[in-house]
């Protein structure tokens, strides 16, 4: 019997994801029915939001139910098809195929992978990561030439792309990241103007030094103390695309609100949360611009690829310890 390995959510984590919260099980490889296809997953996207989906807090999608396959985005290859729109060998992105080796689905996005645009590009710069950076920064942040843009988790999947787009728009770009190596990468390779290692420096003092004209746009990925430091230095009519709050995802109970909340009033700051799927109707705009920027070498994407579906829960922890640089992905099986 051909086997499908799957990660099942066994119980809701308390704090960090712990052994026993998920269980690796083996089931028969599913058989596609009429209009369906069998997809072998090759790469699995690991995202901070996986931790949110494991919880039963009020969120933007239903939580993963106990006993269900863990939700996750993948890219894979069609192995068998009863759907005339797809044939074996097609590279596809099924909607949330999950943490498993095989999935049966009737719909998926086809991907034109090539030597210049490999499958992994669609998991990073040309995927949800790139779109999150693009729409959050441009649609909400609306950066203007000469403005100062600050981005947290700057060496991560989304943050590294945000900073590069802001540079293209003529801004001064200051990142925050958790190691000197990460800071060197975003400044030397990606063209950020400065990067603050928030684990080593006093963030408020460092932001004052690196943002002498104040902060016009803050692309928020983390929350907590960094948000307070930024709020202290925002300019009149600053914009804060609220993309994520990773410092709070493992919190077991209420977390303190920002102490500098009052500056949102004093400085007439726009703070707007967004979820990238809100922008699905506008995906074409993103693909048009980002494909061009990547092809021209103006935006670089980087992936951090770990091996083996069996390691997914442990690898996911890197998002919370800062162990990843660029987009974190698990390779489940070989590329065709
Ligand atoms: N709204 C949306 O549609 C959407 C879509 C995708 C992602 N997001 C959000 O965007 C953020 C980044 O996601 P990503 O996929 O690009 O992940 P990522 O940045 O590649 O990885 C997460 C990074 O966050 C940093 N981090 C972790 N805990 C932190 C803390 N307590 N304080 C400061 N930094 C911390 C770590 O880097 P350091 O070494 O620098 O600490 C880690 O590498 C997350 O908040 C995520 O939920 C939102």
What value does the mean pLDDT take over residues 224-231?
97
> Residue 110 contacts by C-beta under 8 Å, 6 or more apart in sequence?
86, 90, 91, 92
Check: CB of residue 95 under 8 Å from CB of residue 45: no
pLDDT tens digits for 75-103? 999 999 999 999 999 999 998 999 999 99
- CA–CA distance, 223 with 134 (Å, rounded to integer): 20
Does residue 111 have its Cβ closer than 6 Å to ligand 1? Answer: no
Query: What is the pLDDT at residue 52?
Result: 97
Give the containing element (helix H, strand E) for 39: strand 37-45
* pLDDT tier, 230 (very low <50, low <70, confident <90, very high otherwise): very high
Query: What is the pLDDT at residue 252?
Result: 85
Residue 182's φ and ψ, nearest 5 degrees, are: -60, -45
**In the predicted model, is pLDDT for residue 296 greater than 80?**
yes
Check: CB of residue 74 under 8 Å from CB of residue 42: yes
Please name each of the domains of the chain with its CATH number.
3-123+302-331 (3.90.180.10), 128-278 (3.40.50.720)
Ligand 1 centroid distance, CA of 1 (Å): 40
Closest C-alpha to 302, from 135, 125, 134: 125
- CA–CA distance, 111 with 92 (Å, rounded to integer): 5
Ligand 1 centroid distance, CA of 319 (Å): 7
User: Of ligand 1's atoms, which has the minimum distance to the CA of residue 155?
Assistant: 40
User: Of ligand 1's atoms, which has the minimum distance to the CA of residue 273?
Assistant: 1
Does residue 13 have its Cβ closer than 6 Å to ligand 1? Answer: no
> Residue 125 contacts by C-beta under 8 Å, 6 or more apart in sequence?
161, 290, 294, 299, 300, 301
Minimum CA distance residue for ligand 1 atom 2: 275
Percent of the chain exceeding pLDDT 70 equals: 100
In the block, residue with structure tokens 């801004």: 171
Minimum CA distance residue for ligand 1 atom 27: 320
Query: What is the pLDDT at residue 295?
Result: 96
User: Of ligand 1's atoms, which has the minimum distance to the CA of residue 52?
Assistant: 47
**In the predicted model, is pLDDT for residue 1 greater than 80?**
no
Does residue 283 have its Cβ closer than 6 Å to ligand 1? Answer: no
Number of Cβ within 10 Å of residue 317's Cβ equals: 16
Under DSSP, the state recorded for 180 is H
- CA–CA distance, 136 with 141 (Å, rounded to integer): 7
Minimum CA distance residue for ligand 1 atom 37: 322
Query: What is the pLDDT at residue 70?
Result: 98
| pTM recorded for the entire structure | 0.98
Does residue 258 have its Cβ closer than 6 Å to ligand 1? Answer: no
pLDDT tens digits for 9-59? 999 999 999 999 999 999 999 999 999 999 999 999 999 999 999 999 999
Does residue 319 have its Cβ closer than 6 Å to ligand 1? Answer: yes
Check: CB of residue 279 under 8 Å from CB of residue 132: no
Q: Tell me the three-class secondary structure of 240-279, residue by residue.
A: EEECCCHHHCCCCCCCCCCCCCHHHHHCCCEEEECCHHHH
**In the predicted model, is pLDDT for residue 335 greater than 80?**
yes
* pLDDT tier, 253 (very low <50, low <70, confident <90, very high otherwise): confident
Check: CB of residue 150 under 8 Å from CB of residue 230: yes
Query: What is the pLDDT at residue 284?
Result: 97
Minimum CA distance residue for ligand 1 atom 19: 156
Does residue 276 have its Cβ closer than 6 Å to ligand 1? Answer: yes
């Amino acid at each position: 019997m051909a086997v499908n390995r799957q990660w099942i959510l066994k119980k809701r984590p308390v704090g960090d994801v712990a052994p026993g919260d998920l269980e690796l099980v083996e089931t028969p490889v599913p058989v596609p029915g009429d209009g369906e296809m069998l997809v072998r997953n090759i790469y699995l996207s690991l995202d901070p939001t996986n931790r949110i989906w494991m919880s039963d807090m009020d969120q933007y999608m239903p939580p993963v139910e106990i006993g269900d396959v863990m939700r996750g985005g993948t890219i894979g290859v069609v192995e068998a098809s009863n759907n005339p729109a797809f044939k074996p060998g097609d590279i596809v992105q099924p909607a949330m195929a999950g943490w498993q080796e095989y999935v049966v689905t009737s719909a998926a996005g086809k991907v034109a992978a090539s030597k210049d645009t490999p499958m992994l590009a669609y998991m990073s710069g040309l995927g949800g990561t790139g779109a999150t950076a693009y729409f959050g920064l441009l649609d909400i942040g609306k950066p203007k030439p000469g403005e100062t843009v600050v981005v947290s988790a700057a060496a991560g999947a989304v943050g590294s792309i945000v900073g590069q787009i802001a540079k293209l728009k003529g801004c001064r770009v200051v990142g925050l990241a958790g190691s000197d190596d990460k800071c060197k990468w975003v400044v030397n390779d990606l063209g950020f103007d400065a990067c603050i290692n928030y684990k080593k420096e006093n963030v408020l003092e460092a932001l004052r030094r690196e943002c002498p004209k104040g902060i016009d746009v803050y692309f928020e990925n983390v929350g907590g103390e960094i948000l307070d430091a930024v709020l202290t230095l925002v300019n009149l009519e600053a914009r804060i695309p609220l993309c994520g709050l990773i410092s709070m995802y493992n919190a077991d109970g209420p977390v303190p609100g920002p102490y500098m909340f009052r500056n949102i009033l004093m400085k007439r700051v726009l703070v707007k949360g967004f979820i990238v799927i809100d922008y699905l109707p506008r995906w074409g705009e993103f693909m048009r611009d980002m494909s061009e920027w990547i092809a021209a070498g103006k935006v670089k994407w980087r992936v951090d690829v770990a091996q083996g579906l069996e390691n997914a829960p442990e690898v996911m922890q890197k998002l919370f310890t800062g162990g990843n640089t660029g987009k974190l992905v698990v390779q489940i099986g070989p590329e065709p």
